[in-house]
Amino acid sequence: MPKSHKLVYAIYVVVWIIMAINPKYPQDWLLENVLVFLIFPFIVWMDKKHNYSLISIILLLIFASLHSLGTHYTYAEMEHFDGITQFFGFERNHFDRLVHFLFGLLIFRILFEMITPGISSIKTALLFTFTMVISISTLYEMLEWLAAITFHPELGIAFLGTQGDVWDSQQDTLAAMIGALINLAFYKNYKKLLDYNRDR
């Protein structure tokens, strides 16, 4: 694994440790980080095996760091976003919506690199990646709901972050979809990446 990748992972570990100190709701923090405990080692292992591009690792670091920030304060009560909420006159804190959008925007590239080996058609590769983003986003919403009602139903809004919005899950998935769609505008860059990965 390149040293640059190790540095990115090390930066994330430092960010994660800082955000793990005295979270607002410890039980919520633990639930929100279950997937991190599972996915982070998997990403490192896959990177060692397939050597993903540095930019995809950096984009993943940005998203993961924002997720850590959200788990520290909870997405519904992320106080550093209150200024934006007040400035635009929003009725709720949209930090969670922003992170869902960034999931589709920032995670798209590493998913593309993961699933495209063996795929020769750029249209198929992009469609498959786009579908994966939506599927993962939808699955997360379902797992989030199941975790809340199974383990800590008393956490309520602190964990689910619905803030009284009955369409919260659907809008979160839509935000991720929009983020993923933006990547399709960089069709030519992804075609070059597909050709590069195929020729390696």
Q: Which residue has the tokens 């993903």?
A: 52
If one compares 130 and 90, the residue with the highest pLDDT of the two is 130
pLDDT for the residue numbered 116: 80
Are the C-beta atoms of residues 8 and 61 closer than 8 Å to each other? Answer: yes
- 173's CB contacts (< 8 A; 6+ apart) are 100, 134, 137, 138, 141
**Tens digit of pLDDT for each residue in 14-33?**
999 999 998 887 877 887 78
**Tens digit of pLDDT for each residue in 60-104?**
999 999 889 888 887 777 666 665 656 555 566 667 888 889 999
**Tens digit of pLDDT for each residue in 140-157?**
877 777 766 666 555 555
Q: Is the pLDDT reported for residue 8 higher than 80?
A: yes
Q: Is the pLDDT reported for residue 162 higher than 50?
A: no
Helix (H), strand (E) counts: the chain: 10, 0
Q: For residue 58, what pLDDT band results from cuts at 50, 70 and 90? A: very high
**Could you state, in order of their start, the residue ranges of all structural domains in the chain?**
3-199
Q: Is the pLDDT reported for residue 183 higher than 70?
A: yes
